[in-house]
Amino acid sequence: MHTPSDAPEACPVCGVAYFSVSRHGADEEGLLINLRENERFARVCVDAIEGGGVDFYHHDHKQV
């Protein structure tokens, strides 16, 4: 996982600002997503990237 340098200013999935973005490559063995709401983030949008893998856009409670 890493933070892409070419990340857009708004989330490409929902169009609003996000707190952070992380890129997970197609070569990773697995991916765990905790769907319970927590104190830091209210939502994570997932966007497929060309060539495999996904970008996760983390939205805090004020952004959604």
Query: Tell me: the pLDDT tens digits for 4-55?
Result: 888 999 999 999 999 999 998 877 777 777 767 678 888 899 999 888 889 9
| Count of CB atoms situated within 10 Å of the CB of 17 | 14
Pairing, β 41-48 against β 20-24: unpaired
Residue 58 has what pLDDT? 92
Average pLDDT of 55-60? 92
* 1 pLDDT tier (thresholds 50, 70, 90): low
Q: How far apart are CA 64 and CA 41, in angstroms?
A: 9
Domain borders along the chain are 1-64
Residue 51 has what pLDDT? 84
User: Pick the residue with more confidence: 11 or 2?
Assistant: 11
